[in-house]
């Protein structure tokens, strides 16, 4: 049976979510309104002032009222600061962002999916809450909830609301199949997402339904886009190009532009997270673009990824070694830094590479390509890629 989204009774009422969030962010301090893309930088002294005012039950300072009105047009009521501003504590762990696969299950069956086998399984509700508190305590301010298809997880709504209550700015990645549903529309109206990133797989029902292997999917997808536009949701479309829809690239871009949503075009398929080559066969070879030169990243240091079972890795690609946040707790997170450094070492087929300074593929991704059969022309300059 296909799971359906529902809201758990354990989730507190709407008024418990903050109007504003004051939070450390790496070496800065920010004042944010959930669901808004812009924030207000504040000095440390202002952050300390808010923390003290909240603890003492004092009213909202005038400068916060003025900042909210200027930045977002928001009128704050005359009330104790603690009622509408959540002041997040500093974290000793130093993370700012995380992505979380709430469930790998999906209502689509695209043959190029990098997840491979997509099973409906993951944490129970108690451990979902526990995981979200760990993310909060790690310092995570921006959280991406993804899947599989995130919106069809049984407890997506509850988890999404709980993340908001904990003071996170939440982005959701989705195929858009459920955006038309009234419970989802009501949820996002009540708790506006920071961003909704929606994948686009075709410009006609014939192509879209073929790619997703789901009859009627295009009609549900466009109904979702219509609903999102009507509700003024912050949509960004990812145009995914495969051999089955490459003939509609221009039409897909036109479709995105007709809705007025910003878009990006993705042409490069990757092996599955287990190093299987299946998705590479779906790649539209004539549309492949060279990636930018890889100059390093902060994976494992300031952001990390969590799978449906609460297992954290440096990112969605480099999944092994990992740490288990459910059985080991937040104390395991610092190990990700050392793991990140080890995964970026040029080993195996990349040892002693003479073109390392202009490489366009991070080492964990190159390893997946090698495990998938080493189609060097898809990721390595020695095979012609990016040269």
What residue has token string 């989705």?
A: 174
Higher pLDDT pick, 352 / 358: 358
The pLDDT tens digits of the residues spanning 211-221 come to 999 999 999 99
Query: For the chain, how many structural domains are there in total?
Result: 2
Same domain, 68 and 186: no
Which residues form the domain of 46?
Answer: 19-87
Could you tell me where the DSSP H helices lie in the chain? 44-56, 62-72, 81-84, 125-137, 156-165, 182-190, 205-212, 217-230, 249-259, 335-343, 363-371
Strand, helix or coil for residue 126? helix
How much is the average pLDDT of 68-88?
A: 94
**Residue 247's domain is classified under what CATH number?**
3.20.20.70
Secondary structure of the chain: what % helix, strand, coil (to 5)?
A: 35, 15, 45
Residue 4, pLDDT score: 39
Residue 354, pLDDT score: 82
Residue 346, pLDDT score: 76
Same domain, 299 and 241: yes
The pLDDT tens digits of the residues spanning 219-235 come to 999 999 999 999 999 99
Last residue of a domain, one of 87, 122, 142: 87
Asked if residue 222 belongs to a domain, the reply is: yes
pLDDT band of residue 379 (cuts 50, 70, 90) is confident
Same domain, 48 and 167: no
Last residue of a domain, one of 311, 332, 353: 332
Pairing of strands 20-25, 85-87: parallel
Same domain, 256 and 148: yes
Last residue of a domain, one of 87, 114, 130: 87
């Amino acid at each position: 049976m296909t799971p359906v989204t529902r809201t758990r009774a354990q989730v507190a009422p709407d008024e418990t979510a903050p109007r504003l969030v004051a939070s450390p962010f790496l070496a800065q301090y920010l004042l944010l309104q959930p669901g808004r893309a812009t924030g207000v930088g504040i000095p440390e002294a202002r952050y300390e002032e808010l923390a003290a005012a909240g603890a003492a039950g004092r009213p909202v300072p005038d400068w916060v009222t003025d900042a909210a009105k200027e930045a977002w047009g928001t009128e704050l009521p005359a009330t104790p600061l603690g009622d509408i501003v959540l002041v997040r504590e500093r974290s000793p762990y130093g993370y700012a962002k995380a992505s979380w696969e709430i469930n790998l299950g999906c209502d689509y069956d695209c043959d190029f999916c990098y997840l491979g086998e997509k099973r409906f399984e993951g944490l129970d509700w108690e451990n979902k809450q526990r995981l979200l508190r760990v993310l909060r305590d790690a310092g995570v301010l921006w959280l991406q909830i993804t899947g599989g298809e995130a919106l069809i997880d049984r407890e997506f709504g509850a988890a999404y609301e709980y993340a908001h209550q904990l003071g996170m700015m939440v982005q959701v990645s989705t195929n858009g199949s459920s955006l038309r549903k009234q419970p989802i529309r009501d949820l996002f109206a009540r708790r506006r997402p920071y961003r909704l990133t929606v994948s686009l797989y075709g410009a006609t029902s014939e192509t879209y339904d073929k790619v997703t292997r789901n009859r009627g999917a295009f009609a549900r997808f466009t109904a979702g886009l219509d609903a999102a536009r009507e509700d003024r949701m912050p949509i960004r479309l990812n145009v995914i190009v495969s051999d089955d829809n490459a003939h509609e690239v221009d039409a897909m871009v036109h479709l995105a532009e007709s809705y007025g949503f910003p878009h990006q075009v993705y042409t490069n398929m990757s092996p599955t997270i287990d190093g299987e080559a299946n998705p590479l066969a779906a790649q539209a070879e004539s549309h492949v673009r060279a990636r930018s030169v890889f100059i390093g990243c902060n994976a494992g240091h300031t952001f990390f990824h969590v799978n449906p079972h609460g297992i954290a890795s440096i990112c969605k690609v480099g999944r092994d070694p990992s740490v288990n946040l459910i059985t080991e707790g937040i104390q395991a997170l610092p190990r990700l830094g050392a793991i990140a450094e080890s995964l970026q070492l040029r080993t195996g087929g990349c040892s002693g590479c003479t073109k390392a300074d202009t490489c366009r593929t991070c080492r964990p991704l190159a390893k997946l390509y090698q495990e998938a059969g080493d189609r060097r022309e898809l990721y390595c300059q020695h095979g012609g890629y990016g040269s």
